[in-house]
Amino acid sequence: MATTLKGELGALAESYVSQYLAKKGYRIVGRNYRKPWGEIDIITEKEGIVVFVEVKANRKEFAGFEPELRVNPSKRHRMARIAKTFLADYRFLPDQPWQMDILAVTFVSERGVAKLRHYKNI
């Protein structure tokens, strides 16, 4: 049951982030690109740059346990590997500009809002 709740939270956060990115002028290229070593949540493009987005979410605010803190060096390494695989799979040129972003979402249910923090080019 906890997995389902976690999956629902992730899907809700990814939907929220997709809407946010679209409003900011990003074009959604793909979602949930999977390889055996991991997944990229959202792939976008803006101004010729391919952006690989990792979405992290919490149901509540917990000081010191912000969702973005779960993107450790190992996770960033896997993200870069998946990003490079995506670029090769879809035959982008070797000099294609790309970056990795984190979007952290914290849902504040008592106020009915979500706080979003966008970390670019991590």
The tens place of each residue's pLDDT in the chain, 122 residues long, gives 344 566 788 899 999 999 999 999 999 999 999 999 889 999 999 999 999 999 999 988 877 889 999 999 999 999 999 999 999 999 999 999 999 999 999 988 766 678 999 999 99
pLDDT at 2: 45
Number of domains in the chain: 1
**Sheet order of strands, 98-108 included:** 27-35, 38-46, 49-58, 98-108, 113-119
Q: pTM, whole model, 2 decimals?
A: 0.90
Range of the domain at 47: 2-119
Task: List the CATH number of the domain containing 29.
Answer: 3.40.1350.10
Tokens of 21: 């990115």
pLDDT at 59: 87
Contact at 8 Å (CB) between 76 and 54?
A: no
